[in-house]
Amino acid sequence: MGATNTSGNVTLDDYKTAQCGPAYQGNLCGDCREGYGKVRAFLCRKCMSRATIIMLYAAAALALIGLIKLLMYFHHSSNTTPRKSLADPISDELLKVLVLHGQWLYIISNLVNVPWPVTLAVPLQILNGIWSSSNGSSIGFECIFPRNAIPLSIQRVLFCLFTPVAIMCAVLLIEAVVHRVGNLKHSSATHTRHKLASLVVAVVFLSLPTWVSTAFSLITCMQLDRPASPPYQAAAVGRFWVADMQQQCYAGYHKAWAFGLGIPLLLLLCILLPGGVFMFMWRSRKHGLLTDVAFERHYGFMYHLWRDEVCWWEAVVVLQTIGLVMVATFGFALGSYYQGLVTGAVLGLIVMLLLSVRPFKCPAANTVAIQSACVLLMTSYTALTFLPYNGLEPGHVYGNIVGVVLLLLNVVFLASTIWRLALTIDWSAAREALRTSIEKGCGVKQRKSVKAAGSSSSGGLPVESKDAGAEGQP
């Protein structure tokens, strides 16, 4: 790798660096230079200030915590409030479609080497920032973490895996504080288990794309040079890890992490998780448990959105997300054009499944889900027209106009779905619940202050009973 060239004192590393742009270095220009952060594979951007990045990560984490609380609230209200009619969608259904749309659009936006027009690139960067709290590459991981004995690629993996867990712990802490302030220490154990189950489901649902992408990235390799005969010399012989193009695949530290973490994580997320959900729900339906009150109270979050015939559809949603992540992770080897084609094929399959199965209990929710998949399919296929073809590149005017059309398409879908979601919410009940929680918190503080004041003024004596006795004397 660092051998001296026979024509002079220029090393192979110097030659490779000279072939890269100012932001890149290493084999195939796959790593970022100092002062640049990796946004995705083979794409580096100049670092923002460390304070700015930390503030953006913190804002994204707060947004994710708010989304988790929203998912928990809607899930709880959907389980406790009976559905008025199957023709009316419930908030949980619409919110699930919205979150899936955002996750899948984020995956599409990270297709390798797609030159998104500026009218679409800026909104997609904002979307990436929203998910940045669970993805170390969205803003620039290398810009805030030091280069030390632990390789940056491994630091990024650990960050992506454990940040959702840290956010879940933060939500648990918030719940504990709310219970303490609201004097809810004596809430039932069943209620606590339900809230904990809702929290775990929300975190897994939101973090699944990041976890699957991280697991796939641990085993994603690329073939570079093959051995050459003298007087020629191959610069980088063998397969190299895409996350660290200086590290050979399944050698050195990569071997331990790939087999010790990557393979088990893939088995857990891609096989055991969807397979376990499918088998559990299929057996539960076979034994007639779906209508059991106790079973629904404990496991309703897994099937209450879906028709009884496809109560296991949550496993299909997991597999759909895994399929899109797999194309985005491994598709770079196919090239940008074929990667976009395969992504469109996966989305087309999703549209066909939704049209033929219609898994939601509510017909309106099925319509919204089909609209979401069609919008994503159009976005994915239109992205192919931004790529150069046979030496021809699309003009800036075309790119900006089409970018505005795609942006409006997504914005109209999101706005209409959010409006329908707002119509499903009982705002008077929500305001009453907020007012009650505030009054409980203030009531606890007032009782504590009155008790403290009474104790200090009377020296611990029962003043009120003494006064009452005086009033009874002649």
pLDDT by residue (tens digit) across 161-199? 888 888 888 888 887 777 676 555 555 556 666 677 778
> Could you tell me the pLDDT band of residue 5, with boundaries at 50, 70 and 90?
very low
Q: Is 210 exposed, middle or buried (0-12, 13-18, 19+ CB in 10 A)?
A: buried
- Weakest-pLDDT range from 75-84, 283-292, 451-460: 451-460
- Give me the pLDDT at residue 473, please: 40
- Please tell me the distance from the alpha carbon of residue 171 to that of residue 371, in angstroms, as a whole number: 32
Asked whether the predicted pLDDT for residue 433 surpasses 70, the reply is no
Asked whether the predicted pLDDT for residue 74 surpasses 70, the reply is yes
DSSP bridge pairs for 46:
36
> Could you tell me the pLDDT band of residue 137, with boundaries at 50, 70 and 90?
low
> Could you tell me the pLDDT band of residue 80, with boundaries at 50, 70 and 90?
low
Phi, psi torsion values for 39, nearest 5 degrees: -85, -40
Asked whether the predicted pLDDT for residue 31 surpasses 60, the reply is yes
- Give me the pLDDT at residue 93, please: 84
- Weakest-pLDDT range from 232-241, 277-286, 340-349, 365-374: 232-241
Q: And the tokens for 187?
A: 């809430």
- Weakest-pLDDT range from 298-302, 409-413, 420-424, 438-442: 438-442
Residue 306 identity: W
Q: And the tokens for 202?
A: 């929300």
pLDDT per residue as tens digits for the range 316-373: 999 999 999 999 888 877 778 888 899 999 999 999 999 999 999 888 899 999 999 9
Give me the mean pLDDT over the 67-82 stretch.
71
**% of the chain with per-residue pLDDT over 90:** 27
Q: How many helices (H) and strands (E) does the chain have?
A: 16, 7
- Give me the pLDDT at residue 388, please: 83
Q: And the tokens for 148?
A: 């030390």
C-alpha 271, offset from chain centre: 19
Q: And the tokens for 352?
A: 């066909």
- Give me the pLDDT at residue 3, please: 44
- Please tell me the distance from the alpha carbon of residue 42 to that of residue 111, in angstroms, as a whole number: 11
- Please tell me the distance from the alpha carbon of residue 363 to that of residue 348, in angstroms, as a whole number: 20
Kindly state the DSSP code that residue 247 receives in the 8-state scheme: E
Kindly state the DSSP code that residue 140 receives in the 8-state scheme: T
User: Do residues 107 and 344 make contact, with C-beta atoms less than 8 angstroms apart?
Assistant: no
- Please tell me the distance from the alpha carbon of residue 274 to that of residue 317, in angstroms, as a whole number: 9
> Could you tell me the pLDDT band of residue 469, with boundaries at 50, 70 and 90?
very low
- Give me the pLDDT at residue 318, please: 94
Residue 2 C-beta-side C-alpha neighbours within 13 Å? 1
- Please tell me the distance from the alpha carbon of residue 86 to that of residue 361, in angstroms, as a whole number: 7
- Please tell me the distance from the alpha carbon of residue 109 to that of residue 99, in angstroms, as a whole number: 15
CB neighbours of 377 closer than 8 A, spacing ≥ 6? 344, 347, 348, 351
Nearest alpha-carbon partner for 102 in 135, 74, 79: 135
Which segments of 81-188 does DSSP mark as H helices, in order?
Answer: 91-109, 118-130, 152-181
Nearest alpha-carbon partner for 257 in 243, 271, 269: 243
Kindly state the DSSP code that residue 409 receives in the 8-state scheme: H
- Mean pLDDT across the chain: 80
- Give me the pLDDT at residue 136, please: 54
Which residue has better confidence, 210 or 2? 210
- Give me the pLDDT at residue 78, please: 64
Question: Whole-prediction pTM value?
Answer: 0.81
Q: And the tokens for 304?
A: 């209450």
- Give me the pLDDT at residue 380, please: 92
Give me the mean pLDDT over the 439-455 stretch.
52
> Could you tell me the pLDDT band of residue 28, with boundaries at 50, 70 and 90?
confident
Give me the mean pLDDT over the 438-461 stretch.
51
